[in-house]
Chains A and B, each alone.
Chain A
Amino acid sequence: MVVQGPHPFLPNLDDEIVNQMLRQVGASSIAELFSDIPPEFTLRRKLAIAEGQPEATVRREVTRLLSRNMAPPDALCFLGGGVWPHYIPAAVESIVSRQEFYTSYTPYQPEISQGILQALFEYQSLMCDFLGMQACNSSMYDWASSAAEAVRMAARVKKRDVFLVAESVGPQRLEVIRTYVEPMGLGLRTVKFDRRTGGLDQRSLEENLTAEVAGLYFENPNYFGVIEEGAEETVEKVHRAGGLAVVGLDPTSLSVLREPGSYGADVVVGEGQPLGIPMNFGGPHLGIFAVRDMNLARSMPGRMIGMTTTKDGAERAYCMVLQTREQHIRREHASSNICTNQALLALAAASYLSLLGKNGFAKLGEVILGNSHYAAERVGEVPGVESPLFEGPFFKEFAVRYGSSKAEDVYMRLSRRGILGGYPLTKHFPGIGEAGAYCVTEVHSSEDISRLVDTLKEVL
């Protein structure tokens, strides 16, 4: 080791300190501490990585690289599909940047970690109310892994070999589900969507609901932004066939839409990113995972926080509960392997929901509903564009079909004019023609929408 202190992160990087420590340890050198590494594995050269740079240099260099990415305010983003542009209240950012939260870890010692425990308990409680569920874990990696773990859980609970997935779910999530269930030998069958409304095709559901089916995963609103008008009927059919209904969702939709608990969902999964979490090129985000009752809660993956008391019974207190489902106790018999989760993002969601509250959140929903419908109508004014493509009611996102242009070309041409939107649907849904997806939220003004419309006219 070349000692060349001082260093801001390495307070003992100093010859005198190192020698003092070595003397105490009874070693003659740092190398001696590593002498148990067999010689054939000892790296005898320096790593081929550049030498360290001062903070100021790193900040300048990396910020410069990041500035090469196209991002608001220089670009307008109308992309959705599981990650959506939303405004993050300044107070949320202030709360999640409290170092007491973000530089702590899993609250293994609850007495000294009541802060994050209570916050996560509040997240779970807010989510349960909001989703109409009885139990919610304190986070999964993202929507896709939540959906995949939900499918695994349902198949395990029902002990059946086939699972149904609506064709209209996010294709990326379907891919993750496939990855996760492959080793279980679980068969996946897709349920078609109605080409006119964009909603679930009930006949296709009935045809597929056979005795070996453990359940159905569908999204509401689905990948096209279409709200499932038949959600109640769908869940009823799944239940009648002895399966579990797993619903995936964007939580902002519940500002105006019926909560899944009200139409009988057994498991709810979703993406918490719109609740105060930056898009961050895909993560870290927040996988929501909630279940109907305490029975299912005992089969759930992930950490759960519960309310209890101090031993003397005098005070309210919080700690991790039902840990006997988890890998650190049950090892290969655990309900999942998840350990590190997305706790900080659950804190963001809890603070976001607390700030917006009943009034702000309801208002947000109305604004998104208005802005997205306004945009769909305006985009429909562009010659040769069918918007919205589907007749079913929609929220926040909608699909459009282009007359003569390729969806991929439209998406690329828009981006070269500073508009990120029209993510091509054609590749995953070839049956619907040359179509693209748009997402419009509270961050978009009528001017932004006019710019989108004008640019579409240019590029089509």
Chain B
Amino acid sequence: MRGYRQARWDEPLISELSRKGRTGFIPPTDPKIEAWKEGRNLLPAKLRRGELHLPEIAELQVLRHFNRLSQMNFSVETGTYPLGSCTMKYNPKVSEMIAASPGMRDVHPLQPEETMQGLLGIFYDLSKMLTEITGMDSFSLSPAAGAQGEFAGALMMRKYLRDNGGADRDEILVPDSAHGTNPASAAMGGFRVVSVASDERGLVSASAVRKLLSEKTAGMMLTVPNTLGLFESEVGEVSRAVHEAGGLMYYDGANMNALLGKARPGDMGFDIVHLNLHKTFATPHGGGGPGAGPVGVTAMLKDYLPVPVVTKSAEGYHLNYDIPRSIGRLKGSFANSAILLRAYCYIMLMGATGLDNVSSLSVLAANYLLSKLDPEAYPLRQGKSLRRKHEAVVSVNGTMSGGAMKVAKALLDYGTHSPTVYFPLTVEEALMIEPTETETIEALDEYADLLNALYAKLERGELEDVPKNTSVGRIDEVRASHPLSLKVKW
């Protein structure tokens, strides 16, 4: 097992580094304008703020502070990071370099279209690529993240149904294994959430769905493969049943990394799709964000897409805001454009065969890692005979609760990140492992060996006091959940 010591700096808060009389940056001034200002009062005194309460620190000391913090942060480029449902794959460096071009960084969203043809052309092509990958008819690139794409989907369902005599349809079916964003987005979109229980295989069965369908049904949100990493084999029948009942099908694309070039949600009967570009299309996760969550629809719904949609005419590329039935605008300006650009670069780098290889190898990696785990220690609870797709959810065996948390914390001590824990909620002591295609077979072996060894330690009661090798030991989250303040006084 690999030795590991995370950097540990007793690093004060940035405000605690302040000392009067210092600065880390001097803004530029224009002598001519400075002279013009002499004797003028440009702001009435009653509008002026009192003293600014900001730290005073020199440039090197600010850099040291944040560099030290960065050393106390685990990342994809540090080590194995198999956080389930998050697709922590390698994000090509070249995309970062390209995104730093002035033609990306320094362009304003209110510039005339004719000054933006390069980027708009890229976005038009990206829309087409995503359309092809998902089997949809058109895409809006606007949503800033998957959850905003889901919200857009819920709004499109709502508006479409109202336009077509379905104003009373206010229920959305969501499997019990779904990401929390699904029910939250449906609720924000004005719907009641009806939970669908997964069966003993961990799948949504058409018969379970049929029992919940009624004239109140607006639609269903489904993740394929689901959060257990299983392909929803009854998806065709489920789609048909929902459509027959007058509802629409929404595809949560969080797990699309399993299906590139293999199968397309459009062919499965989905009407609306969102993709998490930061997951499947390899853009860095930024410590929590940014992402991008473009939303695609079939021809029937294309007049409902959020504005703008990138279009092409004889004159060039356009941002079309004139979509009569659109649910409206989701972002103040266009989209998380620089994330879209990185996804476009990734698709160009991989190409059709490369994307197919991505899904082949991500699925192979998940099944391989699973096959290396001791099934007594980490049993599968559902669908034991089924192949996994891009991720697998195992249970940490044992009579004592809290085993998954102990194993997760212990993993940190060996310079690896833990899987997602205690999710999905349908699996007790869950570890949700998504290794991705960018981990080597050697790293997968190491991770599996580590997990197996840690289970033995768990049984011996040796994981009570972990982690020890991280910047700090086990954190008191109970105390943190009753904060008196979310800021520091200084």
Q: How many Å from the CB of A298 to the closest CB on chain B?
A: 10
Would A47 and B338 be within 8 Å (CB), given that A98-B67, A279-B105 are in contact? no
Q: How many Å from the CB of B83 to the closest CB on chain A?
A: 6
Residue-wise, chain B 414-451 has the 8 Å CB interface mask toward A (1 for contact) of 00011011010000000000000111110000000000
Residues of A within 8 A of B374 (CB): none
Q: Are A319 and B477 in contact (CB under 8 A)?
A: yes
Whether a CB of chain B sits under 8 angstroms from the CB of A157 is no
Residue among B287, B339, B484 making CB contact with A107, cutoff 8 Å: B287
Residues of A within 8 A of B470 (CB): 111-112, 114
- Count how many chain B residues have C-beta atoms less than 8 Å from C-beta atoms of the other chain: 205
Residues of A within 8 A of B306 (CB): 179
Residue-wise, chain B 1-19 has the 8 Å CB interface mask toward A (1 for contact) of 0000010000101110010
Q: Are B115 and A284 in contact (CB under 8 A)?
A: no
CA distance A61 to B44 in the complex (A): 52
Residues of A within 8 A of B34 (CB): 370
Q: Are B483 and A357 in contact (CB under 8 A)?
A: no
CA distance A145 to B329 in the complex (A): 10
Residue-wise, chain A 59-96 has the 8 Å CB interface mask toward B (1 for contact) of 10111011111111101010101110101010100110
Q: Are A355 and B290 in contact (CB under 8 A)?
A: no
The number of chain A residues touching the other chain, given as a range, is: 35 or more
Q: Are A337 and B118 in contact (CB under 8 A)?
A: no
Whether a CB of chain B sits under 8 angstroms from the CB of A151 is no
Residues of A within 8 A of B18 (CB): 357
CA distance A41 to B263 in the complex (A): 6
CA distance A143 to B158 in the complex (A): 25
Whether a CB of chain B sits under 8 angstroms from the CB of A125 is yes
Whether a CB of chain B sits under 8 angstroms from the CB of A339 is yes
Whether a CB of chain A sits under 8 angstroms from the CB of B301 is no
Which A93-150 residues sit within 8 Å CB-CB of chain B?
94-95, 97-116, 118-122, 124-126, 128-130, 134-136, 138-139, 141-145
Q: Are B92 and A179 in contact (CB under 8 A)?
A: no
Q: Are B352 and A46 in contact (CB under 8 A)?
A: yes
Q: Are B368 and A126 in contact (CB under 8 A)?
A: no
Q: How many Å from the CB of B264 to the closest CB on chain A?
A: 6
Residues of B within 8 A of A59 (CB): 94, 97-98
Residue-wise, chain B 285-302 has the 8 Å CB interface mask toward A (1 for contact) of 111111101000000000
Whether a CB of chain A sits under 8 angstroms from the CB of B30 is yes
CA distance A178 to B351 in the complex (A): 39
Q: Are B483 and A258 in contact (CB under 8 A)?
A: no
Which segment of B207-215, B243-251, B342-350 sits at the interface?
B342-350
Whether a CB of chain A sits under 8 angstroms from the CB of B394 is no
Q: Are B418 and A229 in contact (CB under 8 A)?
A: no
CA distance A106 to B85 in the complex (A): 12
Residues of A within 8 A of B356 (CB): 1-2, 46-47
Residues of B within 8 A of A83 (CB): 108-110, 332-333
Would A283 and B339 be within 8 Å (CB), given that A62-B344, A332-B183, A393-B47 are in contact? yes
Q: Are A37 and B108 in contact (CB under 8 A)?
A: no
Residues of A within 8 A of B471 (CB): 111-112, 114-115
Whether a CB of chain B sits under 8 angstroms from the CB of A211 is no
Q: How many Å from the CB of B365 to the closest CB on chain A?
A: 7
A-B contact pairs, 16 of them (CB 8 A): A4-B353, A9-B437, A12-B440, A38-B235, A109-B417, A113-B73, A145-B144, A179-B327, A179-B329, A328-B180, A344-B288, A354-B24, A355-B24, A355-B62, A360-B24, A374-B37
Would A317 and B472 be within 8 Å (CB), given that A339-B181, A357-B55 are in contact? yes
Q: Are A103 and B147 in contact (CB under 8 A)?
A: no
Residues of A within 8 A of B190 (CB): 182-185
Q: Are B286 and A109 in contact (CB under 8 A)?
A: no
Whether a CB of chain B sits under 8 angstroms from the CB of A363 is yes
Whether a CB of chain B sits under 8 angstroms from the CB of A364 is yes
Q: Are A129 and B54 in contact (CB under 8 A)?
A: yes
Which segment of B74-82, B396-404, B454-462 sits at the interface?
B74-82
Q: How many Å from the CB of A339 to the closest CB on chain B?
A: 5
Whether a CB of chain A sits under 8 angstroms from the CB of B485 is yes
Q: Are B348 and A370 in contact (CB under 8 A)?
A: no
Residue of B nearest to A364 (CB): B27
The CB with the most chain B CB atoms within 10 A, among A125, A343, A369, is that of A125
Whether a CB of chain B sits under 8 angstroms from the CB of A259 is yes
Which segment of A189-197, A201-209, A239-247, A303-311 sits at the interface?
A303-311
Whether a CB of chain A sits under 8 angstroms from the CB of B384 is no
Q: Are B330 and A18 in contact (CB under 8 A)?
A: no
Residues of A within 8 A of B290 (CB): 141, 283-284, 340-345
Whether a CB of chain A sits under 8 angstroms from the CB of B312 is no
